[in-house]
Amino acid sequence: MGIFFHQYFDLDIIRDNFSFVLAGFGQTLLLSVVGAALAMSWGLVLALLRQSPGRPMMPVRALAITYIDVLRGIPLLLVILLISGSIPFLTFLPQTLRAPDFFGKPDIFWFGVLAIALTYGAYYAEVYRAGLEGVPYGQTEAARSLGMSHAQSMRHVIVPQAIRRVIPPILNDFIALMKDTSLVQVIGYVEVVRAGREVQAETFNSSALTLGALMFIVFTVPLARLVDRLIARQQAQTRRAPV
Amino acid sequence: MLSRHRVFMLSIIALATTALVAIGCGGGDNNDNGGSAAKVPKTLTVGSDIPYTPFEFGKPPYQGLDVDIVKKVASQLGSTAKFKKTPFDTIFRDLAQGKFDMVASATTITPERKKEVDFSDSYFPADQSLMVKQGSDIKTVDDVAGKVIGAQLGTTGADYAKNKTKASSVRTYDLIDDAFNALEAGQVKAVINDCPVSKFAERAHKDLVVVQAIQTNEEYGFAFPKGSDALRTAVNDQLAKLKDNGELAKISDKWLGNEPCALHGSSSASTGTN
Amino acid sequence: MDEPVLELEDVHKSFGKLEVLRGIDLTVGRGDVICVIGPSGSGKSTLLRCINLLEPPERGRIVLEGRDITRARKAELNFVRRRIGMVFQQFNLFPHKTALENLTVAQRTVLDRSKDEALAKSRALLERVGLADKMGEYPERLSGGQQQRVAIARALAMNPHVMLFDEVTSALDPELVKEVLDVMRELVAEGMTMVVVTHEMGFARDVADSVAFMDGGVVVERGTPEQVLSNPGEERTRQFLGAVLGH
């Protein structure tokens, strides 16, 4: 039992490597926030494309559905490896895109962000779709009766309501996204799990991993409680809604 | 109907119990051979980070320089060697916990590692090397100053890259092949890794070339959990025999020929440090 | 001046295999108030939705102010919807906007009115329906009757030529029905052309110029309120009224 505590809860190791692991967690947060912002925007675009009405838009709808199915069907790890392994060799891309270096973040950061945005964009698209479909049809009828076009009714009436409804699942997916950023380590990016593993390899002790886990918990557990509160509040509102 | 609070607490207890049982059982995984009765177990489980060409690679039962040596030693001791694939960054921890009988993975003998595990006598020189893409202007280790370089997680190469070069950042990879691929893609400008392996990799990666062998005067050894002196001594005896009768040199020639960084390419293995 | 505002000729509408409208002929003159009554499933709601092309008909013609709008698309569709206002049974107010904003959003996006113009018009309309003090409230804070009055004001903000009412009091508690009917009576007095689907026979008797009884996707009978409500010619009408007025 003593071995267990020494391996995973060695306070000296935790203390000595605290700032290193914390810096890794900072990278986790950065990847998460940038990746999530892009994924949420791209997801909304995808969802709207999927809903575009009318016969001539059928190929657009079909493409959107295919994209969403494929990106939800392959592991994020594969997407990361495929992107990082192929982009440097795509000769039709300018060099600045093949080895991106924007805002001082290295190419592997951007490959990771891209992979996350492409994959989680698909998940978010489905969340938005549920939100859009959950808006009562009467809202569309009212908006169209007032003379609003499809785009106008989407923009002013449907989408704002849809987004309000799906804030809990969006936050839940954000927590999942945040944990998945650890996969970017396979292309060399040092986020919190990688930082822990590097300490582990050098000290033959796994306490830095425990530290990383604690940092995650400090962040994700309050977030999960917030989601619960939001869901409860929404349910109360629905019950109060007048006929 | 259990309240949410109760369900939560019960789950935590269940998980904690499972974890403790797993850790407790993991420690004593020396299978039935303990160490008390037989000096050498009938089946010798050998942990190894496969692939690390040409020391250990391929499909089970695997091939390579380390594989050949261990098979020879094992058969002399009346046992069969069984190689188990395992990631390199946790290999010493796992060995110390008794997950294998020994480790044969082109592992360099270092003082830090000796705190966790015991080593056999050395059997191969462990120089580092600097590998770059053809056409690079990096010729020596000094040239990597300010650049991004790569190495494998947990290796002495990663250690060297972080502590003995002025690289702007060191990217560690789980597998050395990932580092080579990153070098090809231009994501890292150089890779610091064991010399014979990088030299061998030139054959598969035509764009990559070793530009400098970095003498570190370190050597490979086989690793054992602390306290398995009986096995270690037996292996050392066999190793000495292989060195004397030229078998070791033959095995090295088979895989590396007269390449620099091979047994013949640099000063031959010194007497074992312990 | 004598040209009818709205003409429906042999309008058919199906949903999949189910034919809901089986040949509707209807003419509505300017300033006419026509109340449409009938059992549920008779196609009354569908009729209204065909008129403002929320549901385009499969066969037949719809003519609005002399213009055939049956196959209207895009710009022409907007022409239609600007001239026809609709109020729904479930109010369909935008819950994320205040009462005032409910009125201004379409004025600004569809009619391109300036912010000031839209606000002024919206305030005036809300005062007119008796909700001056509720302009900044969100729909969830309003009673059903108040929400429906906002819905009427919202439709009126677009300056429609015709107003369609789809059982607008059916979802209200009885004590809230009067305030909505009162607003509608004022509209009648102002000469608005209205097609009102309703169960409120008293209202129909008081203000309607004509009453049409619908059943099984066709207009069975049409005439003055006295004719249809007190002395129906058709057996089906009699049966329906017997059931409705009997309690």
Which residue of A lies nearest to C173 if distances are taken between CA atoms?
Answer: A243
pLDDT at residue B27, as a whole number: 45
- Average the pLDDT over C42-60 and give the result: 90
- Highest averaged pLDDT of the listed ranges A51-55, B176-180, B263-267, C199-203: B176-180
pLDDT in tens, B12-23: 777 777 666 555
Which region, left, alpha or beta, applies to residue C217 given φ > 0 means left and ψ of -120 to 50 means alpha? left
- Whether residue C192 is predicted with pLDDT greater than 90 in this model: the reply is yes
- Average the pLDDT over C33-52 and give the result: 90
- Whether residue A177 is predicted with pLDDT greater than 90 in this model: the reply is yes
Angle of CA points B171, A212, A177, to nearest 5°: 80
Q: Which residues of B touch A85 (CB under 8 A)?
A: 181, 185
Categorize the per-residue pLDDT at B41 as very low, low, confident or very high, splitting at 50, 70 and 90: confident
Q: Do A141 and C88 touch (CB under 8 A)?
A: yes
Separation CA C134–CA C179 (nearest Å): 15
A236 vs chain C: nearest CA distance in angstroms?
A: 12
pLDDT at residue B26, as a whole number: 46
Q: Which of A71, A54, A36, A64 is nearest to A172 (CA)?
A: A36
The CA distances from residue C27 to B11, C81, C210, C234, in Å, are 71, 19, 11, 20
Q: Tell me if A36 sits within 8 A of A175, measured CB to CB.
A: no
- Average the pLDDT over B223-244 and give the result: 92
Instruction: Centre a 10 Å sphere on the Cβ of residue B68 and count the other Cβ atoms it contains.
Output: 20
- Tell me the ipTM for this assembly: 0.90
Which residue of C lies nearest to A156 if distances are taken between CA atoms?
Answer: C105
pLDDT in tens, C79-123: 788 899 999 999 999 999 999 999 999 999 988 899 999 999 999
Least confident of A229-243, B108-122, C98-112, C202-216: A229-243
Q: Do B173 and A88 touch (CB under 8 A)?
A: no
Q: Which residues contact C134 (CB under 8 A, 6 or more apart)?
A: C99, C126, C142, C146, C150
pLDDT at residue C247, as a whole number: 54
Q: Do C144 and A243 touch (CB under 8 A)?
A: yes
Mean pLDDT, chain B, rounded, equals 85
pLDDT in tens, A91-131: 888 888 888 888 888 889 999 999 999 999 999 999 999 99
pLDDT at residue C162, as a whole number: 94
Q: Which of A10, A8, A26 is nearest to A189 (CA)?
A: A26
Write down the pTM of the prediction: 0.79
The reply to whether B177 touches chain A by the CB within 8 Å rule is no
- Whether residue B39 is predicted with pLDDT greater than 80 in this model: the reply is no
Q: In this structure, which amino acid lies at residue C163?
A: M
Q: Do A108 and B92 touch (CB under 8 A)?
A: no
Residue that the structure tokens 């986790």 belong to: A28
Categorize the per-residue pLDDT at C139 as very low, low, confident or very high, splitting at 50, 70 and 90: very high
The reply to whether C227 touches chain A by the CB within 8 Å rule is no
- Whether residue A186 is predicted with pLDDT greater than 50 in this model: the reply is yes
- Average the pLDDT over B252-270 and give the result: 62
- Whether residue B118 is predicted with pLDDT greater than 70 in this model: the reply is yes
- Average the pLDDT over A76-92 and give the result: 91
Instruction: Count how many Cα atoms sit within 13 Å of the Cα of residue A70 in the half-sphere of its side chain.
Output: 9
- pLDDT > 90 fraction of chain C, expressed in percent and rounded: 61
3-state secondary structure of B126: coil
pLDDT at residue B21, as a whole number: 59
pLDDT at residue B271, as a whole number: 31
Q: Which of A243, A132, A120, A115 is nearest to A176 (CA)?
A: A120
Least confident of A13-27, A85-99, A201-215, B45-59: A85-99
Separation CA C34–CA B179 (nearest Å): 81
Q: Do C109 and A161 touch (CB under 8 A)?
A: no
pLDDT at residue B33, as a whole number: 43
The CA distances from residue C167 to A34, C84, C189, in Å, are 50, 17, 20
- Whether residue C2 is predicted with pLDDT greater than 70 in this model: the reply is no
pLDDT at residue B267, as a whole number: 38
3-state secondary structure of A27: helix
Mean pLDDT, chain A, rounded, equals 91
CA dihedral A75, B178, B91, A212 (to 10 degrees): -50
